[in-house]
Structure 1
Amino acid sequence: MPPRKQANTDPLVTHVGIYARVSTEEQAEQGYSIEAQLETLRSQCKMEQKVVFREYVDAGISGKTIEKRPALRELLRDIEEGKIQEVLVWKLDRISRKTSDLLFIMDQLNRYNVKFRSHSEKNFETDTAAGKMTFQMFGVIAEFQRNTIVENVKMGMKQRARNGKWNGGQVLGYDVVEIPVAKGKDSVLHVNAIEAELVRKIFSMYASGRGLKSIANELNHDGFKTKPNKPFSHVSIKTIINNPLYIGKIRYNVRENWSEKRRKGINPEPIIADGEHEPIITQYLWDAVQKLYSKKAVTAPRVFNGTYLLTGMMRCPDCGATLVAHRTKDTLKNGTKIVRRYYVCSNFRAKGSRVCTSNTVKADFAEQYVTERIAEVVQKPKVLEDIVARINKNRVKNVVPLQKEVEAIGKELKTLDSQKQKYFKLYESDVVDNNFLIERLNELKQKHDALYLRKTEAENQLNDSISEPVPLQQVRQILSKFQEMLETAPIETQKNLLQTIVKQIHVKKGQKFEGIELEFDDKVTACFLGLAPSTQAVAGAFAFSKQKFPLQYTLVI
């Protein structure tokens, strides 16, 4: 990511943020291309003698929401930081096709005194009542047009599915091939002979009694990959054996409104129709697999209610994936049944030993290590004292190099300011033209922004090193209170307490630990040193007081 530019403090220059967007379906339309929009808006800025601060481009992205448009979010952040005075777009619907988002954007513009202009819809100002009404009317029209397009597209795709046609996407066993038709091109499924054999193997393995993870593990060991060229998991195997595509059916609209409802938007009556493509497996094999899957899907009632206190706090020493909860049931020689708890690599659990090893850690052992290590640090003052002293020593050691760097950057920034003033004097004397001035100002601005960003980072590091040493007494008080609460809290509260203060537990192979990384900030400090918290309720463990606390810091114990 390029360095973030700083606020414009020069009243002689109007910095303009150009925003351009094109969705996938608009890529081929005349006048909608990104380059066409940018070229038009650049020319307008030059004609008006304004400086293009930055071009914000969302290519191939729908105007439905703000959340999935990184360039627009960056534009809004720069508006908040006062870096631009004007936003220019080729057409209003480029900024958004959703009325609520348009109103939010307009509110942000007015709040920070930023002017909005559209090259196509001219002569309206968002800081007047009439301008706001015009802005909103255009927004309503744009949203109506988008919704109409979406409805027409959905209707067309549903009809294609009813006719047995493929609506796109990659699927193991088939290749998507484009063929010429009367009105252009169409996509059809052709059997991929090699992948089809793999699909038949998966169905046969499941029909023979193999489990989802067992199948995934064997396929990964044999070097097979999914269609996107990734290792198999139990989820990908389940998706394959439940897809009627392989018996020649087209299934469509299984989930509705995915962007809003995600997996909860299940359609009870999806479209299932005879497809135009060739089936890969027989109806007999399909029926056998579905019957077996239905039986296995009926799970036994859960008899184990144990809690895993360290969920999400440990990572696999080999692949870096999170260690997740795992348990086994054993029967002793005397007939007693016991449950053993473990943490295992999530990649191993989902995809098998081809992807990673289990790197099993006994849950009781890990949880005992964490609680005993914290207790040791609390009960042996010298241990904690040495840890904090070492951290503070390293912080102070970095002060001199940072001070020299900040001083050097400051001198360079003054040089850039002098150069900018020289270019303005040349412009006022008609020695250089406007285009030359803009080019040189942009070059200086880029250098200035990069230097200023590094200067800010160095100053923050410097302030952290010299003004806020890790407070030994405060750390000791927090950990003492933490240990006291941990010993008396119910099991669920223990888990929340650990998640509050433990950032990560560093695990090595062979069930060994390198240390526990603890994170301290104002929330943690208030939790344990603020109003007297109760360990009987999770909410009570997060009481805040009005006391001010130091900045965030971490310790590895």
Structure 2
Amino acid sequence: MLPKQTEYKVGMYMRLSHDDERAGESLSIENQRTILTRYIEEQGWTVYDEYIDDGISGTTFEERPGVQRLLEDAQNGRINLIICKDLSRFGRNYIEVGRYIDYIFPMYNIRFIALTDNVDTANTDSASMDMLPIMNVFNEWHSANTSKKLRAVFEANAKAGKYKTTVPPYGYLKGTDSKHTPVIEPTGAAVVRRIFELRAAGNNIRTIANILNADHIPVPSDHYYSLIGKPNPIRNCGHLWDNTSVSRILNNQIYLGRLTQLRTKTVSYKNHKVIKKDESDWVVIENNHEPIVSQELWDRVQAVNASVATGRHTKNFKLLPLSGLCYCADCGSKMRQHGGCERNSTSPVYVCSRYAKYGKAYCSTHTIRIELLESLVLADIQRQIDLVLNEPDIREKLLAYKKGDKTERDNAARKRLRDIDNRIKELDRPIRSVYEDKVAGLIPDKVCAGLLGEYQEEKDNLTVEYEELSKRTDAEDQDERDVDEYIRRMKSYAGAETLTREMALTLIEYVKVDAHPGKHKAPRTIEVFYKLIDKPLTNKHNALESLS
């Protein structure tokens, strides 16, 4: 049996969450301290220390440094009495609160007092101790209910276009209107546009970061705090651009004028781990504020991001137009840049990376001069541009090419959709007629139920079929949009005399290089596959293993 305590070393615990702040002064830390101190002095006890969690929810114990220090001191014998203003200050998780009060504190001979709730573990026969489980459950219910109400408020504000942020995104300032609408900040906005232009030109993320650092462009956090006239408080900032800071800008839709909020949530009101929401659950408002980049520039960047090529710089830091886009036609491996020679030439070449790594037992060289390959690809692009500009029925031909043998099936699907839609409308009439006859007493209940069941079953089956066919026709509509975008991109490069990295990443999906013929001027096959009309690779490392 544990000895009865006679001298108490008191741990005084106080907590205030952001939700509690709305309740006013009665729950403030200072008010809690005044009430507890007065009571402790009246009892003649000694305060060992104060333990405070300010602005932290009571639903979790692990995330509260104050309560963790309190429990550590209690278990180490530094305190033997814990006092707080009420049970909800100690916690709003009835399982955890009950575990400490009923099991852990008695095990360490620690007395617990929740003053205004009249809870005192030294007086186990009191009515308040009998009500303890109910009070714990109520405190947790209060936390759950408050969390639910706050989520509803946040969602309503997001749908109303109210921007909730502490630090605005780089390139914007927080507006002074009621919705805090983002306002363009010229200096940061210019850097954002430059980042997008650099990426659209084919530069990789690391290169963009290096360019910004070389030009001594302040990182976003340094720039923000310089605007508000304060030193940057972020530790381990580094004050240099890196892949993360550049990528964060390139993937932020706010620069399109699109406000996207509520992209994350916590697991529950008790588990505060943040998880990503499904994109369909985001709250998105188009044209919410002035954009920094155009849709056209954004799309060019997304095309670069989706490319199979990341690109590798040469020794003189040049990023070649087709770097990372070329594949061996026989083994499917990527072609590697090589500074060696072809015969007596010193021109740089592409070679099969499988051959370069494992030797001729696994593939042949597939060597081709880089300059020659670029000229061949440019010539093919120029032919495609000429077709787009001069072929009268080029759109229909491209659609037929993209769809393959799907045209007849798609036409049949569209006709079936029209038939289903008409039949569903027709079924509404007999369903209504049967119901009216039933109300008028013209048909028995059993006959009515049977007819309605048959009609409804047919309608449900047709609805399911309609939805499946709609998905197929949506894909056909996407084919048309892809072809239109392909034509637009080709026209934008009309008159181009040089193959650039940006052009290659915008137009080309990948290039397949046939084996070296071994003879001078012998025929050789080079296949160029274009974005939007040719099938993309699902495996960017091998062109043969995973054609979708």
Q: TM-score, normalised by structure 1?
A: 0.49
Q: TM-score, normalised by structure 2?
A: 0.49
Bigger Cα Rg: 2
